[in-house]
Chains A and B, each alone.
Chain A
Amino acid sequence: MSRVTDFINLSLNSSTIVAEYIWIGGSGLDLRSKARTLSTPIDDPQKLPKWNYDGSSTGQAHGNETEVILYPQAVFKDPFRRDNSILVLCDAYNSFEDPIYTNKRFNAAKIFGHPDVVREAPWFGIEQEYTLLQKDTKWPLGWPQGGFPSPQGPYYCGVGAEKAFGRDIVDAHYKACLYAGITIGGVNAEVMPGQWEFQVGPSPGLTAADELWVARYILERVAEIAGVIVSFSSKPVPGDWNGAGAHTNYSTKSMRKEGGYEAIEKAIKKLELRHKEHIASYGEGNEDRLTGNHETADINTFSWGVATRGASIRVGRETAKERKGYFEDRRPGSNMDPYVVTSMIAETTILWKP
């Protein structure tokens, strides 16, 4: 295969670049992409041409009106093609310039553009958990066929052939994201074997969600190369095995400055009052994960605490000590839409009045 690889890694000498346009498909979770040639390097999304795709093939258009228009919104370096080639994250519109139903970015952009929100400069750090599955059986990577590995305990941040499954995918993804320009803060092996986590942020408002979507895309491309499947299911294996979440760390200007702990407590109070609304938007199948066991809080009950992992919201010891900082919303499932979650947290805590 090395001759094929030689071509994939061929350096393009001219100013020609390839741009991979990425968008979210009809399920709201599946990622799609296609590539086009551009005659000169461009890194400003506003200068990139709009494009379109066949929405009837992704469950996003009906009848005779099949063209869905892609508006470039964010540009990253392409870690697969390298040179000056780029990844372009887009959101989707119909030909009348209205966002299509699955386009959650449009509404998030409105919330993050609101002057009160802009003033508070919200930052997000998202901990994306995911599970690697064997390709043909859809059973977690490293697990014996028709059986289970020994119980959880040795796997969290573990090392060794019988404890860590798929590290090459994780490490390739880490470097690829750094190369692409994503603010990836770290990685670790998770409690369930074959499960991993990476963190994106802290990034402001809309950028955090853009970066998370592109990081997910890069992850799926890397796993594709490795012949392994990525699952964002929030409870991939029932029973005494941890689920997968997307804990969302959050702070505003008021929370980060001296005495900000008061702003944190107020914000958490507002989130408590809108618990049901948030939970409804925090990802499909989350009720299988949020049981009160396996370091989660029960889905129907809102709770918060310092350094406690069994709560809906956790405040770190450092923040409690300094009386300022950030807090962690542990409720979102790994399959959540970061546009929805981040904008909803900002909206509830900054704009909404009880």
Chain B
Amino acid sequence: MSLLSDLVNLDLSSSTEKIIAEYIWIGGSGVDLRSKARTLPGPESDPSKLPKWNYDGSSTNQAPGEDSEIIIYPQAIYKDPFRRGNNILVMCDAYTPQGDPIPTNKRHNAAKIFSHSDVIAEEPWFGIEQEYTLLQKDVKWPIGWPIGGYPGPQGPYYCGTGADKAFGRDIVDAHYKACLYAGINICGTNGEVMPGQWEFQVGPSEGIAAGDQVWVARYILERITEIAGVVLSFDPKPIPGDWNGAGAHTNYSTKSMRSDGGFDVIRKAIGKLEKRHKEHMAAYGEGNERRLTGKHETADMNNFKWGVANRGASVRVGRETEKANKGYFEDRRPSSNMDPYVVTSMIAETTIIWQP
């Protein structure tokens, strides 16, 4: 198969100026990613200079057959770790031909919030901890788990090493380097409490970039699992019972929180989040009620509580932040299948713009 790899890895720079751009968008479920590629005449690094494109929305549950064109607008460019050279990945959002964002386009509204002058002034930073589970392809059972059975109970797997404790590290490591290559602000990875479950973190990124980077990191991850013949799941509770769920804890700070005495601002912000707990929970991911039970390092879905170093809370403030009297806090409520455009913009909107 090395002849096939030779072709996949062909370096075209000596034979043509042309590049390949892979346009990525979010499909009809709000979680499925779609992409297709086109040839461009030369290298490009400015998304506003890339041509808009369109796709068949009737095939992704986003438009009827009689009027099926959906237009995608390029919003962010990353280097393509699969095609390399000058080839690129282009994160897009979707509009009707009349120029209105389609219902699954959550980026449009997030961009509005992040361009509000009060929000810009506060320079909101996000660090998102994306958890996910790897499943065996034909049986949809976690990798490394015996067919028709379970591995030994949780305990040895968190940050574990060894063939009986870490399942799928090659995918995780390939993803880490591929994201760094692409220009994604990936800041770390670790094996999670449930065997076959992993986490990567993106950030700190400012404003809308956080959402773009998480989506493209998810895309790169699914391309790698595709190569590895393994299925990627963002389900927040993939296995019922005494097995951890998967979340997308969102760490957050503003300029005020990061300045001296910022802990006060943090307290105020958390107070506002408490008042809008129900609204946030409704937007924090499908199926989250199966995960947020009060057990397995979660807070019960219906109650808001916060604390320092408390993993059983809705919002956790790190000891370092408490000690320095400034820093950031962690919203532990979002599930792994949340939309980062929705969550990041909602946190910014509630804490900066919203008045109780």
Contacts and interface: CB of A to CB of B under 8 A. Distances in A.
Interface stretch (A58-66, A104-112, A130-138, A160-168): A160-168
B4 A176 contact: no
Interface of A: 1-2, 5, 8-9, 77, 79-80, 144, 153-154, 156-164, 167-169, 171-176, 178-179, 181, 184-189, 191, 222, 225-226, 295, 305, 307-310, 316-317
Q: Is the interface of B mostly helix, strand, loop or mixed?
A: mixed
Given A5-B2, A159-B219, A307-B67, A187 B36 contact: yes
B302 to A, nearest CB: 33
A310 B66 contact: yes
B231 interface: yes
A156 B56 contact: yes
Interface of B: 1-4, 6-8, 10, 12, 15-16, 18, 20, 27, 32-39, 54-56, 58-61, 65-69, 82-83, 97, 137-138, 219, 222-223, 225-232
A171 B35 contact: no
Contacts of A154: 32
Contact of B12 (A156, A163, A178): A178
Nearest to B59: A156
Q: Which of A158, A181, A185, A316 has most chain B Cβ within 10 Å? A: A158
Contact of B37 (A153, A187, A226): A187
A247 to B, nearest CB: 12
**The 3 residue pairs across chains A and B that have the minimum distance between CB atoms:** A188-B36, A172-B7, A186-B38
Contacts of A156: 34, 56, 59-60
A174 B138 contact: no
Contacts of A305: 66
Contacts, number: 130
B36 A308 contact: no
Contacts of A168: 4, 8, 227
Contact of A169 (B4, B10, B58): B4
Given A186-B39, A309-B65, A179 B12 contact: yes
B31 to A, nearest CB: 11
B33 to A, nearest CB: 5
A317 B97 contact: yes
Given A160-B232, A161-B231, A175 B8 contact: yes
A172 B14 CA distance: 17
A131 to B, nearest CB: 16
A187 B36 CA distance: 6
B223 A79 contact: no
B20 A174 contact: yes
25 contacts: A2-B2, A8-B3, A79-B7, A79-B10, A80-B3, A159-B33, A159-B223, A161-B226, A161-B228, A172-B4, A174-B37, A175-B20, A175-B83, A176-B7, A178-B18, A179-B12, A181-B15, A185-B39, A188-B36, A188-B37, A307-B97, A308-B65, A308-B68, A309-B56, A310-B66
B8 A9 contact: no
B59 A191 contact: yes
A79 B14 CA distance: 13
Given A175-B8, A178-B16, A157 B38 contact: no
Contact of B35 (A77, A159, A174): A159
A171 B82 contact: yes
Contacts of A175: 7-8, 10, 12, 20, 83
A180 B138 CA distance: 38
A308 B97 CA distance: 13
A161 B4 contact: no
Given A1-B2, A171-B82, A189-B36, A160 B97 contact: no
A310 B67 CA distance: 10
A161 B136 CA distance: 10
Given A79-B10, A161-B231, A171-B8, A186 B67 contact: no
Given A157-B36, A172-B8, 5 more contacts: A167-B226, A168-B4, A188-B37, A307-B66, A308-B65
Contacts of A163: 226
A156 B4 CA distance: 24
Contacts of A164: 226
A81 to B, nearest CB: 11
A317 B69 contact: yes
B226 A160 contact: yes
Contacts of A189: 36
Contacts of B7: 79, 172-173, 175-176, 222, 225
Given A79-B10, A161-B225, A225 B3 contact: yes
Nearest to B96: A317
A186 B58 contact: no
A162 B231 contact: yes
Contact of A144 (B37, B38, B138): B138
Contacts of B6: 5, 9
B35 A310 contact: no
A225 B230 contact: no
